[in-house]
Amino acid sequence: MITTRRRACALIGATATIGLPNLPFAQARLSYDLQPKPAGPGIWMIEGSTDYFSMDNGGAIVNCVLLQGDSGLIVIDTGPSRRFGEALAGVARTLDLRGVSAVVNTHHHPDHFFGNQVFATQPIHALGDTIRLAQDEGDGFADNMYRLLGDWMRGTEVVPPRNVLDGGEVTIDGRAFTVLPLSGHTAADMALLDQRSGLLIAGDLVFHDRAPTTPSADLAQWSAALDTLEATNAAAILPGHGPLDQAGASIAQTRAYLDWLNTTLRQSARDGLDMIEVMQLPLPERFAAMGAQPDEYQRSVSHLFPDIELAVLPRAN
Amino acid sequence: MLRPLLAALSLATAAAAADDVRTPLTDPLGSGMWSYHQKELLGDPLDIRFDDRVIVQGPANAEDTVNVPLLVDATAIGDVEEIRIFADYGPIPHILTYHPGQAAPKIALRFKIDQATAIRAAVRSADGAWHVGSTYIDAAGGGCTAASHAYASDDWEERLGMIHGQVWADTGRARMIVDHPMDTGLADGIPVFIIETLDISDTQGQPIARLDLHEPVNEDPAFTLYFEPDATPEALRITGRDNNGNDIDGLITVAGYNG
Ligand SMILES: [Zn+2]
């Protein structure tokens, strides 16, 4: 069924392109312009937009990292589509002619691993639970991504990571990392501390000037994960979404937002508010200024409020 | 996927033949299905209009297609007999009918959406006139044809009919969540299994309001009913029955109420 829908999308996309008077322009519009930004010695980041998935950004909303390994570049997270993965591979070849030597997926959300098929001949590492979640939920995510991004997704197939990484000291293509197996943003979130530079690659456990997303979140686990990340005293933090954080403010910012979200939703349930009323609550200025607001807050109400309400309201029989 | 599509197609065909309503209206959302529902779901009333005083609020996008929140407020209409809530496009359009009785003509609910569609609240006032409000909700699809989550947990039978809820006299509201799979019958091999009616009464058994639920109401139906703050009952009895004959019975109270 999913395959059928994807084919239908591809067909619709093809028809639309043929119908457009200016074919070269239409094709040019659907290409990712990825610029590697230095993020330390032998480290580059591709910085995503802080908006939500849209036809305008093609889903390039995620941060990807390239680190110099012994035989090529180690890529952390591969973006939302095959086409993005191809652009990422192109960027890698401009930095090191040998291209990408290994891939790591921090977690199983589609914007972090749907570029994997481009790197299918390389090892693709992830936590064991991330591999299982990508296998279980990947097709459902693909359905949704085709709906949100249309022709940007053309040809994208779900390629889950294959190589299990446990926590602890790990060497990937000659480069030493401390792997932190955590959870909270999803049931399995990996953060990596690059031992050479002290850079913490936090995945989506940390957002920076961009509202955290919660479709698979457990807020209590997430808070505990932030404690662990804080204790690394990293030299700099590369968040899953938003700019590189040299000052170490992004962990506290993520924590403050999630605490506020949890408190607000619980109090709203105690006050008997309905979901629509909760969605309409005004955001404090510092959270309203984050990227993708107030939409991301409203999505979080959808994700989190039904369970919170059941926990808060008394039994009636 | 196939079944709702066919249903929508056959509805669309029917719509073409249903333009001969007694009171033609211009649908502010231009969805193409309006006159069909005007005839089939509302019985082709003579006295009917789109009315901005009926406020229908939902998210622009359904983030969770099996839990779409909706708030319908017809307090500006005054004396309301019933509110029929339905989706223009859906394998089963009718979501809920609310008879507010002693409560305010305002209700919050959640429902399952199957595709992007206009959502309507048709309000019949005491003089027999219909007033219709609308909103449009975009959606990925699949909400009505997915199996309920209930059977994923092995204690669903024990939780069947469990009610959580409370009354807030100061803000004039009562909220209730009733555990129930609310299976639409559209998922393969799973028959219709829904709560059909919930009666809301005071502790003496005097009726206050009634809800007639249909298949698209969400799994674990959740409602807020509204009252004049100074006329909010301290406790509300919720009784009902599902289509398999299971009884539902609970008492929601203001915090600290000992009646
Ligand atoms: Zn994520």
For residue A203, the CA-to-ligand 1 centroid distance in Å is: 7
What angle, rounded to 10 degrees, do the helices at A250-270 and A219-231 form? 160
Over residues B32-41, the pLDDT tens digits come to: 999 999 999 9
For residue A42, the CA-to-ligand 1 centroid distance in Å is: 25
Interface contact A316-B110, CB threshold 8 A: no
Cβ distance A86 to A64 under 8 Å?
Answer: no
Which one-letter DSSP state was computed for residue B225?
E
The Cα–Cα gap between B50 and B27 comes to 8
Name B66's Cβ contacts closer than 8 Å, sequence gap at least 6: B112, B143, B146, B148, B149, B218, B219
Q: Nearest CB to A317: which of B59, B140, B249?
A: B249
**Minimal-distance CA residue of chain B relative to A147:** B140
Q: Which residue in B216, B212, B198 sits closest to B67, CA to CA?
A: B216
pLDDT for the residue numbered A7: 32
> Tokens standing for A99?
């291209």
For residue A13, the CA-to-ligand 1 centroid distance in Å is: 27
Over residues A186-229, the pLDDT tens digits come to: 999 999 999 999 999 999 999 999 999 999 999 999 999 999 99
Q: Nearest CB to A314: which of B108, B140, B166?
A: B166
Rounded to whole angstroms, what are the CA distances from B72 to A50, A120, B69?
Answer: 34, 51, 10
| pLDDT beyond 80 at A285 | yes
Interface contact B177-A309, CB threshold 8 A: yes
Strand-pair category, B130-137 with B48-50: parallel
pLDDT for the residue numbered B145: 63
**How many C-beta neighbours within 10 Å does residue A38 have?**
10
Interface contact A272-B171, CB threshold 8 A: yes
pLDDT for the residue numbered B22: 95
The backbone torsions φ and ψ at residue A183, rounded to the nearest 5 degrees and listed phi first, read -160, 170
Contacts of B238 in chain A (CB under 8 A): 316
Name B208's Cβ contacts closer than 8 Å, sequence gap at least 6: B101, B102, B103, B200, B201, B202, B233, B236
Which three-class secondary structure string do you get for chain A? CHHHHHHHHHHHHHHHHHHCCCHHHHHHHCCCCCCEEEEECCEEEECCCCCCCCCCCCCCCCCEEEEECCCCEEEECCCCCHHHHHHHHHHHHHHCCCCEEEEECCCCCHHHHCCHHHHCCCCEEECHHHHHHHHHHHHHHHHHHHHHHHHHHCCCCCCCCCEECCCEEEEECCEEEEEEEECCCCCCEEEEEECCCCEEEEEEEEECCECCCCCCCCHHHHHHHHHHHHHCCCCEEEEEECCCECCCCHHHHHHHHHHHHHHHHHHHHHCCCCHHHHHCCCCCHHHHCCECCCHHHHHHHHHHHHHHHHHHCCECC
**Distance (Å) from the C-alpha of residue B139 to the closest C-alpha of chain A?**
10
For residue A217, the CA-to-ligand 1 centroid distance in Å is: 9
Q: B59 in contact with A at a CB cutoff of 8 Å?
A: yes
Choice between B149 and A25, residue whose per-residue pLDDT is larger: B149
Which three-class secondary structure string do you get for B204-223? CCCEEEEEEECCCECCCCEE
pLDDT for the residue numbered B187: 87
Size of interface A-B (CB pairs under 8 A): 83
Chain A residues near any Cβ of chain B (below 8 Å): 1, 4-5, 143-144, 147, 215, 271-272, 274-277, 279, 298-299, 302-303, 306, 309-310, 313-317
The backbone torsions φ and ψ at residue A277, rounded to the nearest 5 degrees and listed phi first, read -65, -40
| pLDDT beyond 50 at A19 | no
> What is the longest distance spanned by two Cα atoms in chain B?
57
Which residue segments constitute the domains of chain A, with CATH numbers given?
Answer: 4-312 (3.60.15.10)
Q: Which residue in A210, A244, A248 sits closest to A226, CA to CA?
A: A248
Interface contact B1-A5, CB threshold 8 A: yes
Interface contact A313-B69, CB threshold 8 A: no
Over residues A56-113, the pLDDT tens digits come to: 899 999 999 999 999 999 999 999 999 999 999 999 999 999 999 999 999 999 999 9
Q: B64 in contact with A at a CB cutoff of 8 Å?
A: yes
From the centroid of its chain, how far is CA B224?
Answer: 11
Q: B251 in contact with A at a CB cutoff of 8 Å?
A: yes
Q: Is A297 exposed, middle or buried (0-12, 13-18, 19+ CB in 10 A)?
A: buried
Residue A14's pLDDT band, with cuts at 50, 70 and 90, is: very low
For residue A186, the CA-to-ligand 1 centroid distance in Å is: 7
Interface contact A316-B220, CB threshold 8 A: no
Q: Nearest CB to A276: which of B63, B108, B165?
A: B108
pLDDT for the residue numbered B256: 57
Return the residue matching tokens 């005491």: B126
Bridge partners (DSSP) of residue B149 are none
pLDDT for the residue numbered A148: 86
Which residue segments constitute the domains of chain B, with CATH numbers given?
Answer: 47-253 (2.60.40.2470)
Q: B235 in contact with A at a CB cutoff of 8 Å?
A: no
Q: Nearest CB to A276: which of B69, B165, B220?
A: B69
| pLDDT beyond 70 at A9 | no
For residue A212, the CA-to-ligand 1 centroid distance in Å is: 9
pLDDT for the residue numbered B141: 61
pLDDT for the residue numbered A23: 40
The Cα–Cα gap between B147 and B187 comes to 5
pLDDT for the residue numbered A223: 98
Give me the tens of pLDDT residue by residue for chain B, a chain 259 residues long: 344 444 554 555 554 445 689 999 999 999 999 999 999 999 999 999 999 999 999 999 998 999 999 999 999 998 999 999 999 999 999 999 999 999 999 999 999 999 999 999 999 999 999 999 999 999 876 566 666 666 667 778 888 999 999 999 999 999 999 999 999 999 888 899 999 999 999 999 999 999 999 999 999 999 999 999 888 999 999 999 999 999 999 999 997 555 5
Interface contact A313-B166, CB threshold 8 A: yes
What angle, rounded to 10 degrees, do the helices at A295-312 and A250-270 form? 50
Strand-pair category, B130-137 with A36-40: unpaired
